[in-house]
Chains A and B, each alone.
Chain A
Amino acid sequence: MQDQEWALEHPQGPVAGVAPGGSVVVARGLTKAFDGRLAVRGIDLDVPQGGCFGFLGPNGAGKTTTLRMILGQSPPSSGTLSVFGLPVERSIREIRARTGVVPQADNADPDFTVAENLRMYARYFRLPRAVVAPRVRELLEFMELADRADDPIKSLSGGMKRRLTIARALINDPELIILDEPTTGLDPQVRRMIWNRLRQLGHAGKTLLLTTHYMDEAERLCDDLVVMDGGRIIAQGAPRALVEAHVEPYVVEIQGDAATLQRLLGSLPGVRLERVGETGYCYTASLAPVLERLGQVPGISHRHRPTTLEDVFLRITGHELREA
């Protein structure tokens, strides 16, 4: 535990128990049942070392349950699970000592100030005093909380609380950082700031594992991700590769009745029509012919954009991610 300088200046070295290029988290047939209901249905995972790995899916897809199993907070019903090459059911103390956690709900200790929260958390990890003081300072700087160090938790905004939770997760200089919906409910500036910091951590060689139901978050942050729905992994890969593999490059979203759209666009080659509620989705490799035909009908409202993971999700599951 010598050389406890903050890891941003000292990129993450080799991770004990993991061969170079190996997987930090490995799961096989991982299953979790609650009262007979299957929350996670036999998933396999290989989370590579370094960079950001995402779990994307709607609420109830099994993302948080999977994270809880990885943290030893929820014993799997069946299957195997190891972190840093260590079995979770036997080595959870060592795994947690090397992991940082940002839970879905901020749970900073309301009886302590910002800095006291970090110092108390350091005690749970039994970090030596000489290490803690400089690290608390650096983390408060890193998360832009230095001027709030001595403030009580209840005086913080939602964004500040979130930043404190992230700073707290870094107090033990973790090799693996687990974030459960890190930016849910935050305003755009704070989201951007947090994304920047997470990217910095990824570049420093940390392994980030995050859940999200935000497409843009997954596309911006994740080098690799799994798409979950109903307790299963339904797709896996790099965000761009998933989009290229599963959907056409463009989509036109159209407000209009199904019959009209079918008549108007159904005959165009290479065009695929989908429908969710009132909205029609026209997937295509070439926009021009679609827009030209839509232009012939006055008063039809439409907008076009490049396809995203949202479209991948819709394609694979038949329902929208945000409404599932």
Chain B
Amino acid sequence: MGASTPIAILPRPRGGAFIVWLRNLLVWRKLMVAGLFLAFGEPFVYLLGLGYGLGRFIGEVGGLPYLAFLASGLLASSAMNAASFEGMYSVFTRMTHQQTYDAILATPLSVDDIVAGEMLWCATKSVIVTLPILVVAALLGAVAGPAAVLAVPVFFLIGLCFAGPAMLMAALAPSYDFFNYYVTLLITPMFIFSGVFYPVTTLPGFAQALVQLLPLSHAVGLVRPLVAGSAPADAGLHLVVLLGYAAAGYLASTWFIRRRLVR
């Protein structure tokens, strides 16, 4: 047994990951009814207020009615937000204040099981949050047809993509305040510049290139055509970027959460 902790070996999660996922699902189920009103109410406000309100002035954007354009953008960004906040605030709470992970690490489960389970849960949360928005958008006529259900696995993938970096932040955070930096410096700019409210092509060239490096524009690039009833262009590139962020974030968050919990 060496003096160095084997932090940097590949993650080896097992079936225990699904038990961690189940724990979170059971907790969510308890609070589900209370959250239902918000889940449907908020997209109604956004889509009616911005979609109809602004849509009157804007008309069509990128070949879509503004309401449809905005709805697809908000679907992608909501998937991002859900996974990011679950991966930062909830994971941090369970890791520190609640010591849920300490309790779990007295059972046959490992840190790798916990990280994999949390990541799956973050992605599940992305789907849970976006489904009501999709329903509201459909009710408002912003969804082209039943083919939009193809966007649901993409919501899950977007969740995986943003869960990893968020959990990495949780692993590094000394306190909740730390997350403000990540939200202010990365999440909010992505939300504003990645094509949620207007096409990326409106941006100057260098800004377009920059935005292409960040995952949200690729998430929007997949979700928007699927919701609008067409096949996404550059689907392969978008998938590779989202999967790449998911994999890198998963590795990094596993390593740093190991370092935090096993010492």
Do A and B share a complex?
Answer: yes
A interface, CB within 8 angstroms of B: 33-34, 71, 73-80, 89, 92-94, 96-97, 99-101, 103, 105, 107-112, 116, 120-121, 123-126, 168-169, 172
User: Which of chain B's residues has its CB closest to A165's CB?
Assistant: B103
Question: Chain A residues near B27 (CB, 8 Å)?
Answer: 109, 111-112
Flag whether B99 is at the interface (Cβ < 8 A).
Answer: yes
Interface residues of B in 21-50 (CB under 8 A from A): 22-23, 26-27, 30
Q: Which of A80, A93, A120, A124 counts the most B-chain CB atoms under 10 A from its CB? A: A124
Kindly provide the distance from the CB of B182 to the nearest chain A CB, expressed in whole angstroms. Answer: 25
18 A–B contacts, CB within 8 A, in A order:
A73-B106, A73-B261, A75-B1, A76-B1, A96-B108, A97-B108, A99-B106, A103-B99, A109-B27, A109-B98, A116-B26, A121-B103, A123-B19, A123-B22, A124-B16, A124-B107, A126-B19, A172-B107
Q: How far is the CA of A120 from the CA of B108 in the complex (A)?
A: 13
**Which of A33, A74, A80, A169 is most buried by chain B, counting CB atoms within 10 A of its CB?**
A74
Contacting residues, chain A, for B263 (C-beta < 8 A)? 34, 74
Report how far A267 CA is from B23 CA in the complex, Å: 70
A309 to B35, CA, bound (A): 56
Q: In the bound complex, do residue B100 and residue A73 qualify as a contact, i.e. CB atoms below 8 Å apart? A: no
Question: Interface readout for B87-112 with A: 1 if CB under 8 Å, 0 if not?
Answer: 00000000000111011111111100
B262 touches A (CB below 8 Å): yes
Asked if residues B110 and A77 are in contact (CB atoms below 8 Å), the reply is no
Say if the beta carbon of B230 comes within 8 Å of chain A.
no
Q: How long is the Cα–Cα vector from A80 to B107 in the complex, in angstroms?
A: 22
- The answer to whether B103 touches A107, judged by C-beta atoms less than 8 angstroms apart, is yes
Pick the contact of B1: A34, A80, A96, A120 (CB < 8 A): A80
A158 CB, min distance to chain B CBs, angstroms: 16
Asked if A93 and B102 make an inter-chain contact with CB atoms under 8 angstroms apart, the answer reads no
**B5 in contact (CB, < 8 A):** yes
A160 and B190 alpha carbons, distance in the complex (Å): 47
When chains A and B are docked, how far (Å) is the Cα of A75 from the Cα of B5?
7
Q: Do A33 and B3 touch across chains, with their CB atoms under 8 A apart?
A: yes
Binary flags per residue of B245-263, CB closer than 8 Å to A gives 1, else 0: 0000000000000000111
Are B1 and A124 in contact, with the CB atoms below 8 A? no
